[in-house]
Structure 1
Amino acid sequence: MSATPTPGTPTPAAPSPAAGRPRHVLAVLVLIPAVVALALWAFAWPAARTAPRDLPIAVAGAPAAVVGLERQLERKEGAFEVHRYDDEAAARAAIEDRDVYGAIVATERGPRLLTASAASPVVAQMLKQTATAQAPKGAPVQVEDVVAAPPGDPRGAVLGTSVLPMALAGVAAGAVVTLLGLRGVRAACALVGAAALVGVVAAALTHSWLGALTGDWWTEAGVLALSTLAVSAAVAGLAAVLGRAGIALGALTVVLIGNPFSGIASAPELLPEPAGAIGQWLPPGAGGTLLRSVSFFDGAAASRPAWTLAVWAGAGLVLILVGGAVRVRRAG
């Protein structure tokens, strides 16, 4: 026989659903430090190990003089990937085609350095130091910036810092579409429309206002839109097949790996291996490289990063459509 509560006696509160779940506390204690460790590793490790690794540069001039330059560069084992050209015109063309970052030309008046600060101001400065150190004592080094960074962004700061905001915009778009319950074609259309608007806004800020980009305005807007879509579609696509855990997985991949491994602030070849290579296969690195190509180099070397972004965007949209179709079938 159950006891009847005495009037005025407080009824014991029902236990909280979360009470007695030490696993949740343990998960927080383990997960948060793990994420912090991952972030510190991803951001601090490349920054602490910045150095040239198979950095493609050119030497040009008479064979006898070029041999000496090659030997001096090869003494720094693994630092440079040296390409030889017959004359200055060929070396200049290689820079403009983004085959090399710069060139040391042997002339009768001493070495002449060709750089491309638009490709990487950090590398351009590094090549100046290298050419000066290798020049005969007291011999001045003539420097010409073949493809100069724009006056509005001479140090490449705007382009370098734009990678993270664009990645965050993509993550936010993918997460919002998922949390609002958009599925299938509606989700895909929403992401494409949002990416297009982001591209226009970003081009207006970086090109029209800040003067950090100097290429065709609509082409730059298209690259910025594709970069955003590659991230947002990937995040929403993962969420469509994995649930909300897909948002976290996409965000961690793009923000904590893709952003610091992009090499946009310096150059992929200055990052420790294999960080630079990995970064170019992720949307932030591919997007930044493609934006440099269309803005400063008339689209040279744009095919690979363009295809990389297209694959990310296409795969994400396919996952969204497939996930939406599966949900409809289950509901029916």
Structure 2
Amino acid sequence: MSAPPATPPTPAAPRHGRNMLVVALLVPLLSALALWAFAWPAARTAPRDLPLGVAGPASAAAPVERQLRAKDGAFEIHRYADEAAARAAIEDRTVYGAVVAGPGGPTLLTASAAGPVVAQLLQQAVTAQAPDPTRVRTVDVVPTPAADPRGSVLGTSALPLAIAGIAGGSIVTLLRLRGLRAVGALLAASAVVGVVVAALAHSWLGALTGDWWAEAGVLGLTSLAVGATVAGLAALLGPAGIGVGAPLMVLLGNPFSGMASAPQLLPEPVGFLGQLLPPGAGGSLLRSVAYFDGARAAAPALTLAVWVALGLTAVLLGGLRGRRTRPEPARAPERTPQPVG
């Protein structure tokens, strides 16, 4: 019997050439996207409708208010009767600071815990327009912790939490955990992330000063929102979902979070969009819990909850779809009894 003719090998050169072309185009594209996402907002940092209070008697406060409104679109002015009301508004995170006008000269109330960059910017703006800059008194109503006076730890927290969430979602996908097992793994990993990061940032570095368990919960919830999103996209799209979720969180969520400055200092609509992504919402929620007794925590908490719900739902749906499409194991053919003899 003659051997069957050999099948000619499939030419691999065209396929390899296409792959090389994809790499050659994709890497510079990602580099350009990363540079744009990180450098552009930083280069365009400026106040845009930044909430600022003006307090004091009408005769003294009116000129200050006019001068601040003259800075086209820089400040969103809130009027208060006296210094006590302005302080309460700062502690409630309604405004970033306030100018209290009086006969002895203006007093600038700031909250470096809401953003050291904002506090510095307000101080420069108020002293620049004051008739006598030496008479401007500055009071930090809600200061940053002494262990982290520049707010560096909180300002850089968005990226590590995003990386932790991406790692959790990716590992769940690569280990092929599905359905409730995947959900349980994501919940457990996020809880551990929250406890570990709180131990580092609060107990060791002293950069967070709020309720320890509340901070751990916020940190874990932020990591869960990222991880559930990545795992959910992977459950619906396959491993390519990791390639969608990871850049979304790192290249957009991190630089658009406004954690290093403030959302109102970023170009529009970057600051607004950043607060709709888990890194930005998680950073705002952590700032509220750590320094402002939970003031203005509802909106970012709801944002994170929505991401978690959508991500875990996608994980469960992907698990159900995988169970339905999984082929049944082939059964061994039954042997027909043969007569003996």
| TM-score normalised according to structure 1 size | 0.94
Query: 5 Å matches for 1:8-27?
Result: 18-21=12-15, 22-27=17-22
Q: Say if 1:320 and 1:72 are closer, same or farther in 2 by CA, change over 3 A.
A: same
Amino acid aligned to 1:129: Q
Change in CA separation of 1:318 and 1:102 when aligned onto 2, cut-off 3 Å: same
Counterpart check, 1:214 vs 2:229: no
Q: Which residue of 2 aligns with 1:113?
A: 108
**In the alignment, which residue of structure 2 is the partner of 1:313?**
308
Is 1:268 the equivalent of 2:255? no
SS in 2 for 1:20: helix
Give, in angstroms, the shift of residue 20 of structure 1: 2.1
Deviations 1:281-301 (A, max 9, x none): 000000000000001000000
Q: Distance in 2 between matches of 1:49 and 1:16?
A: 53
Superposed displacement of residue 210, structure 1: 0.2
Using the alignment, how far apart are the partners of 1:141 and 1:46 within structure 2?
31
Work out which of the residue numbers 227, 230, 239 in structure 2 matches 1:232. 227
Q: Give the counterpart letter for 2:131 in structure 1.
A: P
Q: Which digits, 9 at most, give the CA deviation of each residue in 1:216-273, with x for residues without a partner? A: 0000000000000000000000000001111010001000000000000100111111
Q: Is the 8 A contact 1:114 1:145 kept in 2?
A: yes
User: How far is 1:138 from its partner?
Assistant: 5.5
Aligned residue-pair number: 322
**Given the superposition, is the C-alpha separation of residues 38 and 204 from structure 1 closer, same or farther in structure 2, using an over 3 Å criterion?**
same
In the alignment, which residue of structure 1 is the partner of 2:298? 303
> In percent, how many aligned pairs have the same letter?
66
Cross-structure match for 1:291? 286
Alpha-carbon RMSD: 1.6
Whole-Å separation in 2 of the counterparts to 1:230 and 1:154: 29
Cα distance, 1:155–1:219 mapped onto 2, change above 3 Å = same
Specify the code of the residue in structure 2 equivalent to 1:323. G
Report the CA distance between 1:305 and its aligned residue. Answer: 0.4
Q: Quote the offset at 1:135 in angstroms.
A: 1.6
1:65, distance to aligned residue in structure 2 (A): 1.5
CA distance in 2, matches of 1:30, 1:80: 42
Q: Deviations over 1:82-125 (max 9, x none)?
A: 11111111111100000000000011211011000000001111
2:162 maps to which residue? 167
Single out whichever of 30-39 and 224-233 deviates more from structure 2: 30-39
Counterpart-to-counterpart distance in 2, 1:138 and 1:295 = 33
Partner of 1:84: 79
Partner of 1:97: 92
Q: Check conservation: 2:144, 2:151, Cα contact below 8 A.
A: yes
Q: Which has the larger radius of gyration?
A: 2
Q: 1:330 pairs with 299, 304, 325, which one?
A: 325
Alpha-carbon spacing, 1:283–1:18, altered in 2? closer, same or farther (3 Å): farther
**Distance change (3 Å), C-alpha of 1:24 and 1:138:** closer
Q: Report deviation, 1:137.
A: 2.6
Where has structure 1 moved over 4 Å in runs of 4 or more? 14-18
Q: SS state of the match for residue 114, structure 2?
A: coil
- Quickly say closer, same or farther: Cα 1:218–1:65, change in 2 above 3 A: same
CA deviation string 1:11-63 (max 9, x = no partner):
xxx85874321221221111111111110100010011011111000000111
Q: 1:185 aligns with which of 169, 180, 186?
A: 180
Partner of 1:69: 64
Question: Who is 2:338 aligned against?
Answer: none
Aligned equivalents of 1:280, 1:66: Cα separation in 2: 33
* Structure 1 residue runs without a partner (length 5+): 3-13
Determine if the alignment matches structure 1 residue 45 to structure 2 residue 50: no
Match of 2:195 in 1: 200
Residues 172, 182 of structure 2: 8 Å contact kept: yes
**2: distance between equivalents of 1:17 and 1:313?**
46
For residue 124 of structure 1, the aligned residue among 119, 135, 151 is 119
For residues 182 and 36 of structure 1, the distance between their equivalents in structure 2, rounded to whole angstroms, comes to: 32
Decide whether aligned partners of structure 1 residues 326 and 64 sit closer, same or farther in structure 2, where only a CA change above 3 A counts. same
Matched residues in 2 for 1:244 and 1:290: separation? 31
Q: Distance in 2 between matches of 1:135 and 1:50?
A: 23
Per mean C-alpha deviation after superposition, the further-off stretch among 78-87 and 201-210 is 78-87
Inter-partner Cα distance in structure 2 for 1:213 and 1:255:
23
CA distance in 1: counterparts of 2:302 and 2:44, whole angstroms: 29
Output aligned runs, 1:126-141, within 5 Å. 126-137=121-132, 139-141=134-136
In 2: Cα distance, 1:162 partner to 1:85 partner: 34
